[in-house]
Structure formats: C-alpha cells, structure tokens
Amino acid sequence: MGANNTLLIDCGNTYLKWCLFDGDDLTPQQSEYHKDTSVLETFKDIVDSQAEICDSIVMVSVLGEVFLAGAKKIAEDANLSFLEASSKAKLASISNGYQEPEELGNDRLVAMIGAYELFDYLACIVIDSGTATTIDAVDETGQHLGGVIFPGFELSLNSLNSDTKQLPKFDSSTQKIEANGLATETNEAMASGCLLGLASAIDGICNKMHHQLQLKSFQPSVNVKRVICGGGSKALLKHLEGDYEYYENLVMLGLKKIKEDSIKND
C-alpha cells in the first residue's frame, strides 16, 4: 500500500474501528476500546500511526459535534483531507426513509450502503447489534423503508443487574451461557433470557420487514438478504432461526463506497 491510502474510521460509543482502503481493497478491520480513555486521544493515536501512508480520512461517528470538531483538527494537523459521512436525504446508493433525514443515525445509513453494495443491489435487512440493536429495511431500488432501535444484550442485562438488587450479577467476561440457552442457575438464566429474547426479537422483526419488502417489491418474488454486524453478532448467530449472513466490516464497506463516490465527483 502506498501513501495515497484512505483511513476509514467508524467511531462508535465503545470502540473506534478502522481499516485502510487503497482504491481497490480493504485491510482487515481493527478496533480500539475507548471507554477508559479519552476518545480523541484514541482517535489521534490511530491517525498518527497511519498518517505516513495515508492522504485522507473518511469517518462516520455517533459521538457528537465536540468529537467531530476535534477529529477534524487532528486530521488537519496530520495534513490529511477529511470527509464525514453524515445522514442526508440520499447518500451514495441509499435513499433515506426518515421524515427528517438528518435524524437517522449516521452509522445506520453507512451500514445500509455497505449491505446494499455487498449484495449487488438486492433488497436487504441490516441488523447491527452492539450497545443498541438496530434493524433497517432497504428495498431493491435502494429505498430505506425505516427501521427499529432496541437495547442490545449488554444494555438488557445491565437493566436487570441495576434494577433487581437481590439478583446475582452476570460477568460476561468470565461466565458462559449454555449453547442450548437452558440455564441451571440464576445469573446465567438472566443472561440467557436476555440473549434468547434478543434473538427472538430480531427474528420476529426481520420476518415483519421481509413481508413488507415483498409487498413493496416490483418483482413477483423478491430475494431479501439478512445481514448482521456489530459486537454482539457472533453470540446471537447460533440462536437466530432465519438465514443471516455475518459481516463484521459492513460499515467499512459503506465508507469505501462513499470514498469511491467522492473520487468520481471530484
């Protein structure tokens, strides 16, 4: 890879995820946990480590305007051009379905772009399960029909842990959930309930969205792809009953498309 690489960065509530794009290929996605440090310091460390082989940054963020201003300054100091992917009525190949387009989470829109490109413009349902779980439906024309947001696994479990003082605590870093979901002690039962409940919710919502996509389709029988990403995805996959494909770098694929479009429009 040469000095004209683009640094693609997904700035989430818990992790900064990133990779490089050389105009053709993506490097493997990497991530940095930032809950225990300054997120701008973590961002700067990533930029500084790649600045010599990059000429630009394309970023999507859910971290607000103060972080955005700091990220722009870090990019400027490193002599890198900077592009933020933000929600609007149409971005790349996706038409935003929100009544107020800017209210749609930036990362959700970018993930939809990645999925739509990945599946060669087929209708798709995009699930991102992290701190929160989001599910969005996109038809075969690239029109976003809308979506839902509900708590992810950790939020659901933390709600039980904080509001039920007499129940034990489940530590997901050291304790395991039985593969069949059938727990034989209380804190494992709480965790298993949250995980199976989340999987069932995803299946049920996706079934409803699948039906809506079929009703709206211009084809007699529409092929709908279900794709899942996010930190909680691997734990969920074995409990999902539908046909889902897992891509950890879905947001990176969306940022790649946005970068390619920016080059065409220059």
Residue type, 234: K
Residue 113: count of CB within 10 angstroms of its CB:
28
From the candidates 107, 128, 136, 139, which is the catalytic residue?
Answer: 107
**Domain 5-84 shares a fold with domain 122-247:** yes
What was the pLDDT predicted at 8? 98
- Which tokens sit at 99? 């009544």
In Å, what is the CA distance from 57 to each residue of 23, 73, 83, 102, 199? 13, 12, 6, 21, 35
Residue 252: count of CB within 10 angstroms of its CB:
28
What was the pLDDT predicted at 1? 46
CB 58 within 8 A of CB 106: no
79 phi-psi bin (left φ>0, alpha ψ -120 to 50, beta other): left
What was the pLDDT predicted at 176? 66
Please name the residues in contact with 95: beta carbons below 8 A apart, sequence gap of 6 or more: 89, 141, 142, 143, 144
DSSP track, the chain: --TTEEEEEEE-SSEEEEEEE-SS-BPPPEEEE-TTS-HHHHHHHHHHHHGGGEEEEEEEESSHHHHHHHHHHHHHHTT-EEEE----SEETTEE---SSGGGS-HHHHHHHHHHHHHTTS-EEEEEEESSEEEEEEE-TTSBEEEEEEEE-HHHHHHHHHHH-TTSPPP-TTT----TT---SSHHHHHHHHHHHHHHHHHHHHHHHHHHHHHHH-SSSS--EEEEEESTTHHHHHTT--S--EE-TTHHHHHHHHHHHHHHHH-
Tell me the C-alpha distance between 245 and 97, whole Å: 24
Taking only the tens of pLDDT, the chain with its 266 residues reads 456 899 999 999 889 999 999 999 999 999 999 988 899 999 999 999 999 999 999 999 999 999 999 999 999 999 999 999 999 999 999 999 999 999 999 999 999 999 999 999 999 999 999 889 999 999 999 999 999 999 988 888 877 766 555 555 555 555 566 667 677 788 788 888 889 999 999 999 999 999 999 998 777 678 999 999 998 898 899 899 999 999 999 999 999 999 999 988 76
The CATH architecture that domain 5-84 belongs to is 2-Layer Sandwich (3.30)
Domain boundaries, the chain: 5-84, 122-247
Is 171 annotated as catalytic?
A: no
The CATH architecture that domain 122-247 belongs to is 2-Layer Sandwich (3.30)
Q: Cα-flanking dihedrals φ and ψ of residue 46, to 5°?
A: -65, -50
Residue 243: count of CB within 10 angstroms of its CB:
9
Q: What is the CA radius of gyration of the chain?
A: 19
